[in-house]
Amino acid sequence: MSPKVVDKQKKRDRIIRAALKVFSDKGITEFKMIDIANAAGIGKGTIYEYFSSKEDVITGCFEIFMHDFGDILASGLGEKSNPKEKIINFFKLSFQYFSQHQEAMSVLFDFWAAGIPRKHGTPLIPSMKYEYFEFQKYLAAILEDGIKENYFKPHDTQTTALIILAVLDGLMFQAVLGVIDIEDKSLPDKISNTLLEGISNE
Amino acid sequence: MSPKVVDKQKKRDRIIRAALKVFSDKGITEFKMIDIANAAGIGKGTIYEYFSSKEDVITGCFEIFMHDFGDILASGLGEKSNPKEKIINFFKLSFQYFSQHQEAMSVLFDFWAAGIPRKHGTPLIPSMKYEYFEFQKYLAAILEDGIKENYFKPHDTQTTALIILAVLDGLMFQAVLGVIDIEDKSLPDKISNTLLEGISNE
DNA sequence: TATTAATGACCGACTGGTCGGTATTGAAAA
DNA sequence: TTTTCAATACCGACCAGTCGGTCATTAATA
């Protein structure tokens, strides 16, 4: 009377991991459902037991992706370091994460593009804007602390937070393009130094 | 004995303009050839008189796009201004261009994603990396001048050039996402000020 | 044996590209 | 001036291939 039973969550996760791998090989615009099935070692129909549609797989992956990355940052930027160190570490941790998950980087840009609102129709990933605001708030809070504690001069922290995110986005793009080397350990320092000290003479 | 003759280049251009409009409505991953035909007021078959394939239309548009933008920069950053002003103007001109061509911004990210190399197969826009290097060289040269003329302190100009491009990429993304307002005239100044002076206290 | 999980053959909607035919042009012939 | 005609431009119905999603069937489990 007891039926066959599997760990639904675990299997869903296995499909997502397979999907992320497929995304990095073929890109979000090119992959087929059968690719994921093959990568996960299951039948195509089985995917539909865990996801309602192709779109659902993509958004599911995006959520896992952002969640993972957010966790890395939150646990890496502990309370022990000062605001200046936090900003430096933000870049270090990001670079580290992406160099350990090279396949995630190119996927990121497909997600980015899929989050762009179009004149007609909803973006594929509507939560993108929300996620972005979360990161902005997080960074702006660090900057505010830094001003209070005299590490930073008073400035528009919301805008600076966006600049920091912009730099990170742009650099990840350059890494995927092959313009910079994500493994270059001196890069995070150079970047944070530029942002902190500027390039102007005096 | 003389056949009907049309200005091939002009018509090709008309198709590209129509395509750019379609791209911004539907995105590069969603548009159909018939969309472009309708937008250009011609038959679908006619497109294939001017382009060999759907892909060819996309890469053709990319080239026009980069060409246009490069021209704007080259003519805007005249020889009369000093290196510091040039950096500031780089952001001003870019913002101006994209606020005047809002439809181009979201297309830019589709291009970006289409330029990303995948493990299997060639990227849709292989010239992306090359174009990026061109912009980097251009900016690095301005920075070198600035160091020589004592506007900037000595630093790694290649990396800074990439940071500047990264900031621009990231901000355009934010604009498309609706996180920042591209019309905000104070933004280019804030950004160049941050890059020039830094945020550190002393 | 009851119940759930897994499957992959199948369906049908969709679309890139083709191609046979039509329209337009302007120089040359009448 | 008018007609002719060959070269070119244009068109959209059609074809062939593709792929997301379904569901009847089978397998596994307790």
What confidence tens digit (pLDDT) does each residue in B31-66 have? 999 999 999 999 999 999 999 999 999 999 999 999
Rg (Cα) of chain A, in Å, rounded?
A: 20
Flag whether pLDDT at A2 surpasses 70. Answer: no
Residue numbers 8-37 of B with CB closer than 7 A to any atom of strand C: 31-34
Give the residue from B136, B123, B12 showing the smallest Cα distance to B64. B12
User: Hey, how many other C-beta atoms are within 10 angstroms of the C-beta on A181?
Assistant: 11
Tell me, what amino acid is at B190?
Answer: K
CB distance B61 to B20 below 8 Å: yes
pLDDT class of A103 with cuts at 50, 70, 90 = confident
pLDDT tens readout for residues B188-198: 999 999 999 99
Bases of strand C lying below 7 A from some protein CB: 1-9, 15-20, 23-28
pLDDT at position B147, please?
97
pLDDT at position A102, please?
82
Flag whether pLDDT at A199 surpasses 80. Answer: yes
Residue numbers 2-41 of A with CB closer than 7 A to any atom of strand C: 3-6, 8, 11
Please compute the mean of the pLDDT values over residues A178-202 and round it to a whole number: 94
Please compute the mean of the pLDDT values over residues A122-144 and round it to a whole number: 95
Q: Is B106 on the interface with A (CB under 8 A)?
A: yes
Measure the CA–CA gap between B200 and A196, rounded to whole angstroms: 5
pLDDT class of A60 with cuts at 50, 70, 90 = very high
Residue A169 with chain B: CB contacts under 8 Å: 166, 169-170, 173
pLDDT at position A1, please?
43
List the alpha helices (DSSP H) in chain A: 8-26, 33-40, 44-50, 54-76, 83-100, 102-115, 128-148, 157-177, 187-197
Please compute the mean of the pLDDT values over residues B93-115 and round it to a whole number: 91
pLDDT at position A3, please?
66
Flag whether pLDDT at A4 surpasses 90. Answer: no
CB distance B157 to B88 below 8 Å: no
Cβ distance B160 to A113 less than 8 Å, yes or no, reads no
Q: B164 or B1: whose pLDDT is higher?
A: B164
Lowest-pLDDT range, A81-85, A119-123, A180-184?
A: A119-123
pLDDT at position B6, please?
78
Q: CA nearest A169 in B: which residue?
A: B170
